[in-house]
Chain A
Amino acid sequence: MRNLLFKEMKLSASVLSYIFIAFGLMFFLPGYPILCGVFFSCLGIFQSFQNAREANDLVFSALLPVSKQDVAKGKVYFSCTIELSALLLMAIVMIVRMTALADSPVYLQNALMNANPFALGMAFLLFGLFNLIFIAGFFKTSYKFAKPFVTFIIVAFAIIGIAEAAHYIPGFEALNAFGFANFPLQLGLLAAGLVCYIVLTWLALRNAAASFEKTDL
């Protein structure tokens, strides 16, 4: 699998996949839907899939001495590498905002979602949905990516909208905690997001591998 990951990075990946990790820094933006950073990172990964299709990457990979299922898994692992890098960046920004910038007026007046563990949990959920909707969806044909990507866009922006506005609903104010306020609840939501990411990615891995195995190239 290490060799497949190396192949993804050296031959298939678009440089945009790496550059768009930087959208994790959007967690710094006040008054902006910070979860859009997740979408842009996913857009970077999407570019690599587009690159790979143009370069006959799937046939090349299927001819390498690996099982066909591992080829699909390699793509999921590559995507996870980009996603986890973006999540790490988001986590660092979140910690800075929760500590050094906790009392910053610009963030205290923030109308939208704060960069807190709940936000990071939602980022995990969105990346998990990208893996299941887009990657597993792409491998149903191993060729068409417009439909799975558009489906992901619709689902992602619906969830981003709900998450950004949720703290305005009476009883849900704690979702928008500053600093370490409501910390146990916030950590619980982060853990729930992480669990969703693991489950969704596992499903994506399983479905993508099974679909690609059945695909005639």
Chain B
Amino acid sequence: MKLNRLNQERWHKFKANRRGYWSLWLFLSLFIVSLLAEVIANDKPLLVRFQSEFYFPFLVEYAETEFGGEFEMEADYRDEFVRELITEKGWILEAPIPFSYTTINHDLPSPAPSPPSDVNWLGTDDKGRDVVARLIYGFRISVLFGLFLTFFSSIIGIAAGAVQGYYGGRIDILGQRFIEVWSGMPTLFLLIILSSVVQPNFWWLLGITLLFGWMALVGVVRAEFLRGRNFAYVLAAKALGVGDRQIMFRHILPNAMVASVTFLPFILGGSITTLTSLDFLGFGLPVGSPSLGELLAQGKANLQAPWLGISAFFILASMLSLLVFIGEAVRDAFDPRKSY
């Protein structure tokens, strides 16, 4: 992608902010690692060599009978019996963390939640599930949720702000009053009520939070369009016969993008926090999903097991801090007062 000179300059300024720059790379690598969660933390082996043939259990379901077992259901690779069957005629390559987020470790040395050990590096939660595995999957789902929410709420917010600001007058007034009423709703309670009516899954939850979360950008975008629609170059475009939609996209939106892009990392952080707080209260993702909020709630319920709360807190705090650092660097990079 070829950047124009202005954006090149911004990228240089962003890079010059070492903290933000490294935060971006750290966050991106954490996110990419978490996207590969199935390869890193899985109770199914990555690769099995059995009778001179390769099997990929983490991708494909193999019945136990394929390895000479007795049941026609999927092989349980954590079962000693199955492991022996396979290792007799081949070998097993395990994932670095041999637990998925749902895997229950039945051989715990102490009652769950059990403390950190060689097997469970950060201990287990109160259902005997590995904390590291749950953190990796939880990080992924949080960030994905945040990204989706940020993406959709930005699109809706920018569109609403653009239409209000550009056309002004009655549309603007009605839109603003509607947003005032809408943002005055007790969001958390409505979310709780709605999520008790429907059984929320990832997309439901996204929809519900989007319903009340799209207003973040309306203000700045609207202001930018109110200002921009009277610029001489917008009038010039009108005089040339450029249509409304093209004026909005080609001529005014780029001005509004600076303010919007500056907001994005903070909106992302806010979205992640929203999901975490809903999960913490128990109105978020369905039971069993890996979630940082649920882990925090467990930490609160099991104060004798500090590894739960501390791990969840540490991951959440570092994720949000990284986003804030990135956001600050982006804000400075886009600041026009620093560029000339």
Specify whether A and B are partners: no
